[in-house]
Structure 1
Amino acid sequence: MADACCSPPPLNLDRHRDNKAYRRVLWAVLAINAVMFLAEIGAGLAAGSASLQADALDFLGDAANYAISLLVVGMALRYRAAAALAKGLTMGAFGLWVVGTVVWHAAHGTLPSAFTMGAVGMAALAANVASFGLLWAYRKGDANMRSAWICTRNDVLGNIAVLLAALGVFGTGTGWPDVIVAAIMAGLALQGAVVVAQQSTAELKARMA
């Protein structure tokens, strides 16, 4: 999926350095993601769903990313940009991990539980929509802020895809819809990683110039 709306913003980004409201938002979304990881990883393993397991690990990765964001809020731009670059690399690693999961499930012909996928997918969607709304005001901030918003945006799209996969598994009686959705989630993670890495690298270069 192209990300034409995510071209790098101007680099005069220090205005958010002491934003207490942003810290509160990060704490809220950190808690949401940590709880959803615990709930979804168990459900994904029980249901045998590649897309649920991928989404659960995405929640874990996002929780870690928000924790990093909290750590560097208020620091100099170069530290925030470096943290964003690290998060971009993490997003890329997640995408590669999902690719491996997709290959494994495709090779073994796994048939996940459509009911579990649908129920857990709805809960995950509600959690990510809440996080998305909380982070909306910071979508055009520096690379650190923007990477948090991109992660949540990808999660909302991934949750919708998981629900579609649940319908597909139910309708076809095969695991292919689950595998296809997991592959799409891998693509979103890799694409988001490129966007975040590009902006954070640009900020680091601008700071060094």
Structure 2
Amino acid sequence: MLIRLEANDRKQLIDLLINIPELLTERGRRQILEIAGLDDFSKRIDLSGDPKTVVSQIVSVLSSYGRINEYQTALELFLTTIKEYIGYEQQAFIDQLLDKYHIGLNKNKIISSSEISLSETSINDLKEQKSLSGQQQEKLRDALINTFPRKSSLEQLLWFGLNKNLDAIAGGGNLEDIVFNLIITAASEGWVEDLIRAAIQKNPGNSNLRNIAQELLSER
């Protein structure tokens, strides 16, 4: 599925992307592709050039690639991840692009845990788990920080995915402390599996999050 952006839409998108601090460096670009579950593309694209050239190449390559899985295109995974780094008005523009070009096979379909290699049986097993070990908590913390590198992205995950207020649950501090407090609260109140499910639903292409979820389940 080749996605052909109109010239004006492409220009607005690139102008938006080159003003995102994380896309100004090679390391940041590589990290965003990894978070989006597009690790392989970092090997196909020269990420070391100037922002406008690299961003233009990223958009071109992802637009021409098509679908990564049955439900999502490479460009959709990238743009969905980018929304975690921008303001609400810019997010609205991204949403308009996704709708205008029908990027994504079925936006109303809920991607279940079984469709991303987590069976319902495994999720139910996690529900029965009374607590996570310290090592498991640390691994989950690192996966969440990698997937949601800004507090604002975590706030949206909790609010829209779980109808919970992050500040009320985890308080302030740096991101590492916030995520730690979040995991402790989720574990003590018995909704760790809901947190994992919501996180994967938000970023279904993120391999780090899927892998740690599988590992937590297998280590019971």
TM-score normalised by length of structure 1:
0.34
Which structure has greater helix proportion? 1
TM-score normalised by length of structure 2:
0.33
